[in-house]
Amino acid sequence: MATTGSQPSPTDLLPLSGRGTLGVGFPARWRRGRRLPPFVIWAPALIVVLLMAMPLVYLVLRASEAGSDVWRLVFRERTATVFRNTAWLAATVATASAIIAVPLAWLTTRTDLPLRRFWATVATLPLVIPSYVGALTIIAALGPRGLVQESLAGPLGIERLPSIYGFPGAWLTLTLFTFPYVFLSVRTALVGLDPALEEASRCLGRGSWRTFFGCVLPQLRPAIATGALLSALYTISDFGVVTLLRYDVFTRAVYVQYRSSFDRSLAAALALLLVLFAIVLLLAEAAIRGRSVYHRSGAGTARRQRAIHLGRWRWPALAFCGAVLALSLLLPLAVLLYWLARGLSGGAGADRLWSSISHSITAGGLAALAAAIAALPVAVLAVRFRGRLSAAMERATYLGYALPGIVIALAFVFVGANYLTPLYQTLGLLIVAYVVRFLPQAVGAERLSLLQVSPRLEEAARTLGRSSLGAIVAVTLPLARPGMLAGAALVFLTVMKELPITLLLSPIGFDTLATDIWSATGSGSFAEAAVPALTLIAISALPTVLASVRGGRSIDRPALPSAPAMRQ
């Protein structure tokens, strides 16, 4: 009928053509039009993104300074060894994690295994043990003059065990403390699987085993892959385990290069190689996760499925669960308690412990606050003002996942020592480095909680007279508060456990629980490490306890999914 009106200009369409990984579906009606986000949102977001990019940019510049030396280093024999070791360790840890985690996940979701809930909780608990504490306990138990050897030496006269140092120890430790990533991912997928598919398979004449291998396992493949990639990513980023167990991978090589040589460009080059490795894993994970949408079951509550009867298989299944529990939880705790008992009789300094605890809490608290605030503009931009630019900004913050702690530590040491000398070795710079490292966690949690707030609510506030910013403040933020707190708590906990950044950037005399453990291990005095290690584990276990308490009273709001949140 009416055909008045001018043709829209091509620029009008620009912000709408941006397709985030999530926003491919058309037409998302609430997708915002041309309205620009307020200055108070995009300006801080830009600053945060620039900060995130800083370490990487600096490393690139620094590495390029070395000129042709870089290529010599990159193509050196030792670099190839380091690369091989890193890849081998990542692959074996990921595989072993999957081999432990998939049966555990299946047993705890689909079968009549006794104490299913208990085992499911137990399987996630190794995450609360910092991996370097795990390494410490493995050394204390299986190392030369360790507990196992000592107890064997007496009656059996065995003087030497196979060495735990190098690959076997690193592999064992990292597997024991990263398999929960795969477990969480697979368990979530198993719970979300449409039971109708399995029922259909059963009706078509396949038994429970053939149904598992023909119908369930193929659908779990993406979940297994993302979990395994997460565990691999953790492995290549890990600094504490490989350094303590002396296995030559990138993180250790970077550290050694930084400690031993004058020319830090080479350390920067190695660090860049490591980042490249991490980015590849991260992209692979994102690609697989992007395709695995069909795993979610449709709307509505999933029906409870009939549990598979294990019968006689119950006993081997229980033995398997028990073995995992013994190795990943009981062994470290037993070792630490043993050393605690021995240390207490020797009398350890309580003052020192208190100052370390307060330092850890100070650093963690400030970092959590800073990260929660820094993440907010980025998350708001990504959720409420979708477009190419805001998606790019959000993704830039995820770079933190691909930056291992040692790499960030190194970049900040360089920048601090050369350009920001007054800030070098101050608490401020330490906090900034923490924020760069852990911002993705905060952005992720805030983004999730903002996504749960319907844009309709903001629109309702707009039609009732609030400005764009006013609507966010009056409606969105109060509703997103639980998620923001969760994000901050997560940052707090991971900062407490963080090792390489703390080690390299702490102000002099600023001892934390993590650095206490590290220096005690370095000098072989496990008794001194036991108290801070147990304290750290107790603090890390707190949110698990809180989560189970909170879970009881959250009526109106769905809890945040835990799998991405647990990621470090």
Partner 1 sequence: MIAESLAPTEPTDVAAAPPGAHLPDGKDHPFQDIAVRCVGLEKRFGPIEVVRGVDLDAERGRLLALLGPSGCGKTTTLRLMAGLETLDAGTVEIAGRLVAGPGRDEPPERRRVGMVFQDYALFPHLSVARNVAFGLARRHETKRRMREVLDLVGLADFAERMPHELSGGQQQRVALARALAPNPAVVLLDEPFSNLDPELRLTVRREVRQILADAGATAILVTHDQEEALSLADRIAVMWDGRIIQTANPEELYHRPVDRRVAAFVGDAQFLPGEARGRRVDTVLGPLPLAGQAEGAVDVLLRPETIRLALAPEADPTNAQVTNREFFGHHQSLTVQLDAGGALRARLGSYGGIRRGDRVQVSVRGAVLAFPRATQPDNSA
Residue 387 DSSP label: S
77 lies in the binding site for partner 1 (CB under 8 A): no
Q: Number of residues interacting with partner 1: please give it, by CB under 8 A.
A: 39
**Other beta carbons less than 10 A from residue 45's beta carbon:** 27
Instruction: Provide, rounded to whole angstroms, the least separation between the CB of residue 487 and partner 1.
Output: 19
**Other beta carbons less than 10 A from residue 144's beta carbon:** 12
Which one among 11, 68, 301, 463 touches partner 1, defined by CB under 8 A?
463
Which one among 21, 34, 71, 158 touches partner 1, defined by CB under 8 A?
34
Cβ–Cβ < 8 Å for 437, 447: no
User: In Å, how far are 376, 449, 461 from 479, measured between CA atoms?
Assistant: 14, 8, 13
54 lies in the binding site for partner 1 (CB under 8 A): no
22 lies in the binding site for partner 1 (CB under 8 A): no
Q: What are phi and psi of 36, to 5 degrees?
A: -80, 145
Closer of 23 and 168 to partner 1 (Cβ): 23
Closest by CA position to 245, among listed 165, 178, 176, 171: 165
11 lies in the binding site for partner 1 (CB under 8 A): no
Paired tokens of 553: 């009273």
Query: Considering only residues 518-547, where is the footprint of partner 1 by CB under 8 A?
Result: none
Which one among 77, 159, 351, 556 touches partner 1, defined by CB under 8 A?
556
Helices (H), 477-512: 477-497, 500-505
Q: Which stretch binds partner 1 (CB under 8 A): 9-17, 237-245, 252-260, 365-373?
A: 9-17
7 lies in the binding site for partner 1 (CB under 8 A): yes
312 lies in the binding site for partner 1 (CB under 8 A): no
Closer of 325 and 469 to partner 1 (Cβ): 469
CA distance 550 to 353: 30
Q: What are phi and psi of 175, to 5 degrees?
A: -65, -45
39 lies in the binding site for partner 1 (CB under 8 A): no
Closer of 17 and 421 to partner 1 (Cβ): 17
Q: Which stretch binds partner 1 (CB under 8 A): 157-165, 210-218, 302-310, 471-479?
A: 471-479
469 lies in the binding site for partner 1 (CB under 8 A): no
CA distance 122 to 183: 11
Closer of 54 and 469 to partner 1 (Cβ): 469
- Cα dihedral 96, 100, 101, 105 in deg (nearest 10): 160
457 lies in the binding site for partner 1 (CB under 8 A): yes
Closer of 16 and 565 to partner 1 (Cβ): 16
Closer of 352 and 466 to partner 1 (Cβ): 466
Query: Considering only residues 476-495, where is the footprint of partner 1 by CB under 8 A?
Result: 478-479
Which one among 25, 162, 347, 465 touches partner 1, defined by CB under 8 A?
465
Length of the chain: 568
Q: What is the 3 state secondary structure string of 366-400? A: HHHHHHHHHHHHHHHHHHHCCCHHHHHHHHHHCHH
Instruction: Provide, rounded to whole angstroms, the least separation between the CB of residue 287 and partner 1.
Output: 24
CA distance 523 to 380: 47
**Other beta carbons less than 10 A from residue 158's beta carbon:** 12
Helix (H, G, I), strand (E, B) or coil at 321: helix
Closer of 287 and 474 to partner 1 (Cβ): 474
Which one among 191, 307, 326, 464 touches partner 1, defined by CB under 8 A?
464
33 lies in the binding site for partner 1 (CB under 8 A): yes
459 lies in the binding site for partner 1 (CB under 8 A): yes
Which one among 74, 395, 462, 525 touches partner 1, defined by CB under 8 A?
462
CA distance 536 to 357: 9
Query: Could you tell me what percentage of the chain is helix, strand and coil, using 3-state DSSP and rounding each to the nearest 5?
Result: 75, 0, 25
Paired tokens of 187: 């368990």
Residue 204 DSSP label: T
Residues of this chain that bind partner 1 (CB under 8 A): 1-8, 12-13, 16-17, 26-27, 29-31, 33-35, 454, 456-457, 459-468, 470, 474-475, 478-479, 556
